[in-house]
Amino acid sequence: MQQHAHNDNLIGKNSETLSQLRQLVAGLEGCYTPASLPERSAKTGQQRKAEVQAFTGDINGGQVHEIWAEEPEDTTPSTAFILNALTETDEPFLWVTSRRQAHEHGLPYGPGLAAMNIDPARVLLVRCRDEKEALWAIEEGLKCAGLAAVIGELEHMDLTASRRLVLATRYQSQRCLLLLRTGTEPASAAHSRYRVKPAQSQPSAANTKAPGPAKAEIKLTKHRAGKRPSTQTMEWHHAQDHLSLLAPVANRTPSPRTATAKQALG
């Protein structure tokens, strides 16, 4: 009986290592087969929600949060990360963008927002000529009650400007979510800063050649309330619980699968 259990455990361990190796190879080759796909973790929606809340929970507070897109292609995952913080309410939100940003990265697209559980009618889009106007518009928006948040797309940020925004959030304890498209990490007075990068998605078993649910690597690089910097991988499903933390796939020591959440801190 005992022997049998031990054997089972061993087989389980081996098969897991094997599946991880398969995934690694498939990832490197860029060619997945149904056999190389990992099992989905059996977490309930509640558990996933709690995990997400623990990581991004304080984005809901009345402060300035920076979502930092280091590379141009990081802009869209950053947008999705911001939108995810807005699904809780039904209030409209102000989306301030500049002509240059709209040209480089496009404008929010209603059908896509609807798929992310955001009613496109909630978007109040402000298209400014330049960054100076955009900063003014963000500041005005922060002084207004009745908005879910103010989203600002900017390319530069300095201490003076961010300090002004921080003071403006105090009027109505409004949320300011800045999407910063800067190559270097800016110095600012923001409460927290998340760096968002797209990650390779896990294809679904139904179609292994197609991109699966979108994944992004999110790194908390700054937190004024003293949270430790950490990295998480998040996945978007176009479904009810559409954001969840994922266990890292590659580059980890094989360990037996447990029911608890696996998070890679570092």
Q: What is the binding site for another protein (CB under 8 A)?
A: 30, 32, 71-77, 79-80, 83, 92, 94, 102-103, 105-116, 119-121, 123-129, 133, 136-137, 140-141, 143-147, 197-201, 203, 207, 209-212, 214-216, 236, 238
- In this structure, the number of other CB atoms found within 10 A of the CB of residue 188 comes to 21
Nearer to another protein, 25 or 114 (CB): 114
Report in angstroms how near the CB of residue 88 gets to another protein at its nearest. Answer: 17
Report in angstroms how near the CB of residue 246 gets to another protein at its nearest. Answer: 13
* Cα(140)–Cα(142) distance, integer angstroms: 5
Nearer to another protein, 84 or 188 (CB): 84
Nearer to another protein, 186 or 212 (CB): 212
Report in angstroms how near the CB of residue 63 gets to another protein at its nearest. Answer: 20
Nearer to another protein, 8 or 73 (CB): 73
Report in angstroms how near the CB of residue 48 gets to another protein at its nearest. Answer: 17
Report in angstroms how near the CB of residue 23 gets to another protein at its nearest. Answer: 14
Reported as type and span, the H/E element at residue 136 is helix 131-142
Q: Which residues neighbour 145 within 8 Å (Cβ) at sequence distance 6 or greater? A: 172, 174
* Cα(43)–Cα(58) distance, integer angstroms: 23
Nearer to another protein, 121 or 167 (CB): 121
Report in angstroms how near the CB of residue 195 gets to another protein at its nearest. Answer: 14
Structure-token pair, residue 155: 């390319």
H-type helices in 30-93, by residue range? Answer: 45-56, 75-84
Nearer to another protein, 64 or 94 (CB): 94
Burial profile 5-38: b = 16 or more Cβ within 10 angstroms, e = fewer: eeeeeeeeeeebeeebebbeebeeeeebeeebbe
Q: What are phi and psi of 125, to 5 degrees?
A: -90, 130
